[in-house]
Amino acid sequence: QSVLTQPPSASGTPGQRVTISCSGSSSNIGSNTVNWYQQLPGTAPKLLIYSNNQRPSGVPDRFSGSKSGTSASLAISGLQSEDEADYYCGAWDDSLNGQVFGGGTKLTVL
């Protein structure tokens, strides 16, 4: 069982807006910033969003993140076929003294 909780799957049609939720606790999301990682099929994960809502250089502004209390969410607007991937939320956990991840959400573009 993953420390952070994500829905196992999400889907949308091209152009739609989809959101992926991530639920944690006071020792991780509640006290540290949230990061999101995108893993395209057969590739290594890539940092997509850091510090709750910051995009690394090169990440389209269609991707956005937010955090409230012990939960966070990733929003993808103007969905494109190349967005089909697994998405993981992550954060530092002060009790476990380590990085924790969600179980991952497989996004399907219909």
Partner 1 sequence: EVQLVESGGGLVKPGGSLRLSCAASGFTFSSYSMNWVRQAPGKGLEWVSSISNSGSYIYYADSVKGRFTISRDNAKNSLYLQMNSLRAEDMAVYYCARGDGDYVSSPLEYWGQGTLVTVSS
Write out the residues near partner 1 by the rule CB under 8 A. 2, 32-33, 35, 37, 39, 44-47, 50-51, 56, 86, 88, 90, 92, 96-104
**Shortest Cβ distance from residue 15 to partner 1 (Å)?**
28
Q: How far is the CB of 13 from partner 1 (least distance, A)?
A: 26
- Name the DSSP class of 82: G
Identity of the residue, 46 or 62, whose beta carbon is nearer to partner 1 in the bound complex: 46
**Are residues 85 and 91 in contact, defined by beta-carbon separation less than 8 angstroms?**
no
Nearer to partner 1, 78 or 102 (CB): 102
Structural tokens at position 30:
């509640």
